[in-house]
Structure 1
């Protein structure tokens, strides 16, 4: 299975992801010409070599009206020790990216404005659909953070032309690479605080934190915003799974470099290769509790999922003295065992956890795209062991439901024929 693995030990941002994906192509000059022919107003992509901690990789710059802002100049930036000259939001507001002072100072785009730019692009409808869905994720996060309807959202940093360029480039390159599966490592979000158009915010910024919900991530002692909303939205849309690198036969490796220098190489690594896995060992951790409320159990389950659990579920049981109780079962990978044990003891009242090592047999999985009356929709296909089944991608269907006012059930029924 053709698999793309993204290693995010120094976070993820749009320009770093673009550059890393570019490193997977043999003829980068030709790909660069294709990107510059997409027709984003005023935008030009520039690819250059960059070295971090002795590693050669690529850095993608975006010029708007022929200019890119110099590092450290930012209309939304407070120059304090912890900020490291970063801005928030799009793929250029952190340790990795770029920002254009004239863009961020004057233009705040709505979803309608973004839609106009998307429709003007010289590319296929499948790529336009991907770009549109990424912005839907961003809009939903901004809507929840600010308490404003999606239709009234005006993008600040993520609406700048260079942020749009990053999202367009990643969607274009993903379409061109066409992996069967995209796996993303746990994401380093950095630490400290960041200055945004809305004021000084903690890292990760609120919109980023919402986008990372359900995605394994962690803070570090690097006082910088390593994961931007743009980066979070892109992996949320494209990733099939979030885990450490699977067993794979590696064919190509690309390094996308950020602008800033740290003691650790400031890069995102993209690995393309083949995986042939249908079985793995997994740890089953379980405990009995009889003194937790349903809300407390629900929160514990949420924390385990956010920590990277493969599956978490509960079973009702009868305990001593006739008391009703609950078994909380957490399934995780071998290298996540200690982390999951810590989370179980932290978020439950148990004083003991049982462990079983199991063989887990899984179907091979891939994502394909189908054309519907509402645009392109992703479909998850699972197959193997003489079984094949398909399922419409929830994020795509829910996005269409919000736009049209129809229920998910209606849309699934309408699209049933498209799956054939």
Structure 2
């Protein structure tokens, strides 16, 4: 069975609420803090606390930072994240969220993306929220994430741009671009922040009701305000109960003859960050015998439009072919083995004798112990093969 996640945003969402919900559901706080300490940010502290919001016991993440005079733009944030050795998946996810926010801000203020200066979102606490969210998404390792309709709040909020209507312009741009369903209750307060909006819209495979699942964990992440309704973001983690075997995917294809390998590689990275399931390139011969490259992308139907925009923007192609296909998939299991090089996650197919150590874990261990990656991979595989099924992590 595959792991599915449901996020219920009846009281909106913010970056710290998302992190608190995952911590409440079992994400190790020490692991999160260790990854965030790699960022070259001024003195900050983060502490999960137990609170009650509307009779619901929840985790509130208390984040304290020192005031900064610096205003960070996208180039500065890219440099900060890329220098932190966060791992490829976390780095790509965090950069994609900041770029998504940047596009929203650029459209609102009518300036080029690289000229956008983040205000609240460029502050240290917001950077911790979004990079932390990328770490949390990696920890979830979900096959599908569903987000409920989102309560955005109502009224006005005081921001660095002045007094703005709720939802804030950047928030509205993000939910509109993602096609996210929103509503407003009686609470005259901002419930969905730009950081909360970019997290939910970037990770949602679909919006709607809770999917059929067998719950294995849940958590409540508290907001700072006490409201009439419980001010919490709820996460439910479970195993998919729908029959495994097949699902529908979209294959996007385009031929390019005027882009360098570096440009195509960057386009592939952007596609993966946007949610592509797989990306590959094939050298081809085009008309007039020009050498070219065929770019292929597999994605979920809900992600096709967003990824098409990435391909158009990054490659300069004028056309993309789209095919809808059915694929057969095997249920996967994920568990952790302890090796002489540390903890390494293992993935295996439930219906086949296939075992694959998680590359990022193997890479990190090989660098930490200065051993060949093949040696670490072999040790992880041997340990996994000798591990009994009863010791493995539940199907996810």
Q: How does 1:117-128 map to 2 (within 5 A)?
A: 117-128=80-91
Distance 1:244 1:116, change over 3 A: same
- What is the Cα deviation at residue 57 of structure 1? 1.4
Query: In the alignment, which of 164, 170, 178 is matched to residue 127 of structure 2?
Result: 164
Query: Structure 1 residues 373, 44: CA separation in 2 closer, same or farther (over 3 Å shift)?
Result: farther
Contact 1:35 1:45 in 2 (8 A): no
What's the offset of the Cα at 1:31? 2.5
Length-normalised TM-score, structure 1 = 0.61
Gaps of 5+ in 1: 66-101, 280-361, 382-388, 413-420
The answer to whether the 8 A contact 1:251-1:272 is kept is: yes
1:56, distance to aligned residue in structure 2 (A):
1.5
CA shift, 1:169, in A, is: 0.4
Question: Aligned with 2:229: secondary structure?
Answer: coil
Between stretches 239-248 and 372-381, larger displacement belongs to: 372-381
Q: Does 1:373 align with 2:265?
A: yes
After superposition, give the CA deviation of every residue in 1:359-406 in whole Å (9 maximum; x if it has no partner).
xxx954699xxxx8223613248xxxxxxx93375435634654x463
| TM-score, with structure 2 as normaliser | 0.65
Superposed CA offset, 1:18-49 (max 9, x none): 110112226x3433443443334123322222
Is the counterpart of residue 34 in structure 1 residue 37 in structure 2?
Answer: no
Distance 1:184 1:62, change over 3 A: same
- Distance in 1 between residues matched to 2:81 and 2:128, nearest whole Å: 10
Q: Measured at CA, do residues 278 and 364 of structure 1 come closer, stay the same or move farther in structure 2, by a change above 3 Å?
A: farther
Q: Give the distance between the partners of 1:40 and 1:58, measured in 2 at CA.
A: 26
2:180 paired residue number: 215
Aligned residues: 280
For residues 119 and 411 of structure 1, what CA distance do their matches in structure 2 show? 33
- Of residues 390, 402, 417, the one that matches 2:298 is 390
C-alpha contact (below 8 Å) 1:188/1:218 kept by paired residues: yes
Shift of 1:220: 1.3
Alpha-carbon deviation of 1:223? 0.3
Structure 2 gaps of 5+ residues are 251-263, 279-296, 323-396
What CA distance in whole angstroms lies between the structure 1 residues aligned with 2:169 and 2:156?
Answer: 11
1:233 aligns with 2:194: no
Q: Are residue 252 (structure 1) and residue 217 (structure 2) matched?
A: yes
Question: Partners of 2:49 and 2:150 in 1: how far apart?
Answer: 25
Q: Is the 8 A contact 1:186 1:218 kept in 2?
A: yes
CA distance in 1, matches of 2:219, 2:209: 17
1:36 and 1:45 in contact (8 A); partners too: no
Q: 2:77 aligns with which of 114, 139, 142?
A: 114
Q: Which residue of 1 aligns with 2:10?
A: 9
Q: Name the CA distance, whole Å, in 1 between partners of 2:8 and 2:248.
A: 20
Q: Deviations over 1:186-217 (max 9, x none)?
A: 00000011111111111101111111111100
Aligned to 1:417: none
Aligned to 1:406: 316
Distance 1:54 1:109 in 2: 39
The alignment yields a C-alpha RMSD, in angstroms, of 2.8
8 Å contact from structure 1 (residues 136, 399) kept in 2: no
